[in-house]
Structure 1
């Protein structure tokens, strides 16, 4: 009789809006999952479902074969990977480390080089699809790093996403995510303006949405976020503060390449205005409210 293949132990750091669902899918698939989050309460459901809690990043890193991070900002990524008590200081040799945070392409390259010095395989693998994509395991996953490492952990990606594409060397996943965020940015303005226009014109916005969401104007934001706008649901599937972070990274990278991004600059200025009004913890669909309140 053939021996059963043992699944690798996965360490998951960052069990927030999206990370919680992503780690949950890995648990359901039968992987041993260890979790760490700065706020333990956000991991309680996973712990109840069988995940093992670790008190520190260092402890988790020393016990896992594959370490996945889904944290907030590039500074969090840098500290989590490169800090004295971080992942690379404590991970096993030949471990796989996968940052699924939307972060800086340059930082992804820095982590890759530092990991390589320790015989650790590093991938940058940001995602798109929001809380819905995370819950339904339909995320788009864009991966940078060594292709052999990508192929080795592809079965893990397949438990969390449906559109999984290797994009190239270290940093390529993050650059691809910047393309994604740039495309979303100006599109969000259009979705919000269209819904406010329908309301001001005296139309039934939900009926309007039925007509325009399946035509040339169709988009993920129109189909998934416009209904939330119309219901007054501005809770986060994706935080405004994180979208501002992403747009800042994209603007910096575009400037380094000598590229003009007028749509991106305008969108960021509007979201900055929302953040100044104390809306940074709302979902990106709250831009609707800013436009609707302009008289």
Structure 2
């Protein structure tokens, strides 16, 4: 199936904080974009930009050559892909299905197998970079699936991201995203502890940040999320509830492989306490509130 920009119809499901920006870049690149979201209001901005609203997942799947999903939880992914009204049952043979949700590696393999039986090409391609990366088309995209399918959709993925890598077969993208989330989980504790320490020592956290972010302690979270913590900006670039979901997936996968992840376990426990404080819809930088209440 040829995927020429001016002739390819892309169906995009999930137009939330990140999905809206991602679909917007596809529109600007010249692709015809169909959109579906459980809440239509979240797609209005894209519709105003030229996207076409579709009322049902099945209708979107049957009308597009490429279907991209960016939803919340593994159960959402499973329903959207594998129900009788879902993508796999209704997509055109030869279509490309790209799940960019952070989900279970085992589910990615299941979708791949079901899709292959219907002559569909499925890839798991979760992302990293948060709302900023999505807005600026600088996402890191970690893909799993067949090399031929990846090569066909790589130009589409590069519209949304700058670091696009095929990591291996089906499920490899999700496993790579788990590595990403594991690294972030412990790092977020370190970032919060550093800011809390600076405050307790009577320092200006913003001035401290200028010194340490350029050195060995530097990280994306330190440069991008620490300033939000200091400013008291807890708007979600990535929701606390979704990070807890990701850490749960990673812990389950690690357990299946017999791997101990004590840093990840600690981070999940702190984030669960944060959610219990009423912060589940805040951005992940809200973890500083847990330290501030100590």
TM-score (norm 1): 0.98
Could you report, residue by residue, the CA deviation over 1:172-219 in whole angstroms, capped at 9, with x for unpaired residues? Answer: 000000000000000000000101111111111100000000000000
Q: Secondary structure at the match of 2:163?
A: strand
Distance in 1 of aligned mates of 2:97 and 2:151 = 14
Q: Which runs of 5+ in 1 are unaligned?
A: none
Distance in 1 between the 2:7 and 2:166 partners?
23
Q: Do residues 219 (structure 1) and 219 (structure 2) align?
A: yes
Task: Give yes or no for contact 2:5–2:30 (8 Å, CA) kept in 1.
Answer: no
Q: Which residue pairs with 2:111 in the alignment?
A: 111
Q: Distance in 2 between matches of 1:5 and 1:29?
A: 8
Q: Secondary structure at the match of 1:244?
A: helix
**1:128, distance to aligned residue in structure 2 (A):** 0.2
Does 221-230 or 269-278 show the bigger shift?
269-278
Q: 2-side partners of 1:50 and 1:30: how far apart?
A: 10
Structure 2 unaligned spans of 5+? none
Alignment partner of 1:185 is 2:185: yes
Task: Give the whole-Å Cα distance in 1 for the aligned partners of 2:63 and 2:57.
Answer: 10
2:169 aligned partner: 169
Correspondence 1:62 to 2:68: no
Distance 2:7 2:141 in 1: 21
Q: Are positions 1:276 and 2:269 aligned together?
A: no
Q: What is the deviation of 1:125? A: 0.1
- The equivalent of 1:258 in structure 2 is 258
CA distance in 2, matches of 1:35, 1:45: 11
In the TM superposition, residue 292 of structure 1 has moved relative to its aligned partner by: 1.2
Give the secondary structure class of the aligned counterpart of 1:72. Answer: coil
1:68-93 deviations in Å (ceiling 9; x for gaps): 00000000000000011100111000
Give the drift of 1:6: 3.7
- Match in the other structure for 1:200: 200
Give distance in 1, aligned partners of 2:66 and 2:102.
Answer: 19
Match of 1:136 in 2: 136
Which digits, 9 at most, give the CA deviation of each residue in 1:249-277, with x for residues without a partner?
A: 00000001111000000000000001111
SS where residue 175 of structure 2 aligns?
helix
Question: How many Å separate the matches in 1 of 2:62 and 2:291?
Answer: 49
- CA distance in 1 between counterparts of 2:59 and 2:148 reads 27
Report what 2:35 is aligned to: 35
Q: Distance in 1 between matches of 2:230 and 2:215?
A: 19
CA RMSD for the aligned pairs?
0.8
Paired position in structure 2 for 1:291 = 291
What do residues 148-193 of structure 1 show as CA deviations (whole Å, max 9, x unaligned)? 0000000100100000000000000000000000000000000001
- The superposition leaves residues 77-111 of structure 1 with CA deviations (integer Å, 9 ceiling, x where unpaired) of 00000011100111000000000000000000000
- Alpha-carbon distance in structure 2 between the residues aligned to 1:249 and 1:136: 28
